[in-house]
């Protein structure tokens, strides 16, 4: 009897382990398959002429430089607009707000905002910024619409970073006669900065890859934007249009590969910052 029970335990344990292992493998496998597929199809395109050239002709031959410039521009502008607001809002939520109904409502609103489909954000940006305020299709309108998407993400990651700063470190500061703001600005935020930075960089990756929001707010015109009021076509939009029409699949895969590399670069930077800091503080 006893030995049978032990046998059963060993079998169930083995099965559980196998299932868990398969699930993990599927996750890694999914990422690996996608990467491999994009790399195999796109690597042939990655020439300096493709990266730094302009597209020409109806088949979009040549390069994709203006879409790279538009992507970097709108991402940078969106981060510039969103980060200060999001960080200050998170400081308020984590440090100043009296924890209660109001704060949990704000937090719920932020979570809900984060789950609004991005196409809806695009539509909203179109009617408010592009048409309502009259910005027209522009980098600025797209950056503002993107900021709606990014705000809740950065607020939540920042809030969690701030909360992760140990209470006894704050008390050390208060114990020296520091005011709340002195403690927040000189001790809490610097301690939380690496985690905040990680969150911001991950959000930047999200913005760079966003399609639905920018297509309705920045348009599809191939243009290397200089002024924030210039229109432009980002890499994801370029990719979508080319693939949709099937006009130039090699260029579409080349764009996809560059986009993936860019976002991967953001993620690796975020990891590096997180790790370096753990070493410094440990």
Partner 1 sequence: MSDKLASHFMAPKAGPAHDHGDKFKVEKLDFFYGKFNALTDITVDIKRHAVTAFIGPSGCGKSTFLRCLNRMNDLIPGTRVEGKITLDGNDIYAPGVDPVDLRRRVGMIFQQPNPFPMSIYDNVAYGPKLHGVRKKSELDGIVEESLKRANVWKEVKDIMGRGGLTLSGGQQQRLCIARVLAVEPEVLLMDEPCSAIDPTSVQKVEDLMAELKDRITIVIVTHNMQQAARVSDYTAFFLQELAGEPAHLIEYDRTASLFTTPKDRRTEDYITGRFG
Pairing of strands 61-62, 55-56: antiparallel
Task: Considering the complex, state which of residue 59 and residue 99 has its C-beta at the smaller distance from partner 1.
Answer: 99
Residue among 151, 125, 139 at smallest CA distance from 74: 139
* Residues in binding contact with partner 1, number by CB under 8 A: 22
Q: In the complex, what is the shortest distance from the CB of residue 192 to partner 1, in angstroms, rounded to a whole number?
A: 10
Residues 140, 229: contact at Cβ < 8 Å? yes
Q: Any contact of residue 117 with partner 1 (CB under 8 A)?
A: no
Please, are residues 57 and 246 in contact by the beta-carbon 8 Å criterion? no
35: Cβ–Cβ under 8 A, 6 or more apart, which residues? 260
68-87 footprint of partner 1 as x/- string (CB under 8 A): --------------------
Q: Does position 168 bind partner 1 by CB under 8 A?
A: yes
Q: Indicate whether 172 belongs to the interface with partner 1 (CB under 8 A).
A: yes
* Beta carbon of residue 188, minimum distance to partner 1 (angstroms, whole number): 10
> Is residue 169 a contact residue for partner 1 (CB under 8 A)?
yes
Q: Would you count residue 177 as binding partner 1 (CB under 8 A)?
A: yes
116 SS3 class? coil
Rounded Cα distance, 139 and 243, in Å: 23
Which residues, in sequence order, are CB contacts of 25 under 8 Å at separation 6+? none
Q: Does 101 bind partner 1 (CB under 8 A)?
A: no
Q: How far is the CB of 171 from partner 1 (least distance, A)?
A: 6
Residue 173 touches partner 1, criterion: CB under 8 A = yes
Tokens, residue 201 = 């960089």
Site membership for partner 1, residue 59 (CB under 8 A): no
Residue numbers at the binding site for partner 1 (CB under 8 A): 99, 166, 168-179, 182, 186-187, 190-191, 280-282
């Amino acid at each position: 009897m006893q030995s049978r029970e032990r046998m059963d335990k060993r079998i169930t344990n083995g099965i559980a382990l196998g299932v868990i292992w398969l699930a993990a493998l599927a996750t890694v496998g999914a990422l690996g398959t996608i990467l491999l597929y994009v790399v195999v199809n796109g690597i042939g395109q990655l020439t300096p002429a493709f990266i730094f050239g302009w597209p020409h002709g109806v088949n979009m031959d040549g390069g994709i430089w203006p879409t790279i410039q538009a992507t970097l521009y709108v991402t940078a502008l969106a981060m510039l607009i969103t980060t200060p607001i999001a960080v200050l809002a998170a400081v308020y939520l984590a440090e100043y707000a009296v924890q209660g109904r109001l704060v949990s409502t704000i937090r719920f609103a932020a979570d809900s905002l984060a789950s609004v489909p991005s196409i809806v954000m695009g539509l909203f940006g179109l009617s408010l910024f592009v048409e309502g305020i009259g910005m027209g299709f522009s980098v600025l309108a797209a950056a503002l619409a993107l900021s709606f998407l990014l705000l809740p993400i950065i607020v939540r990651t920042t809030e969690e970073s701030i909360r992760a700063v140990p209470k006894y470190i704050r008390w050390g500061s208060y114990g020296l006669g520091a005011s709340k703001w002195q403690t927040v600005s000189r001790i809490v935020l610097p301690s939380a900065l690496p985690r905040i930075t990680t969150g911001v960089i991950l959000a930047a990756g999200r913005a760079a890859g966003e399609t639905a929001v920018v297509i309705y707010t920045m348009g599809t015109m191939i243009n290397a934007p200089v002024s924030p009021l210039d229109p432009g076509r980002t890499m994801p939009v370029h990719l979508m249009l080319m693939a949709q029409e099937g006009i130039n699949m090699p260029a579409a895969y080349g764009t996809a590969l560059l986009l993936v590399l860019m976002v991967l670069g953001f993620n690796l930077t975020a990891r590096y910052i997180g790790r370096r800091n753990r070493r410094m503080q440990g």
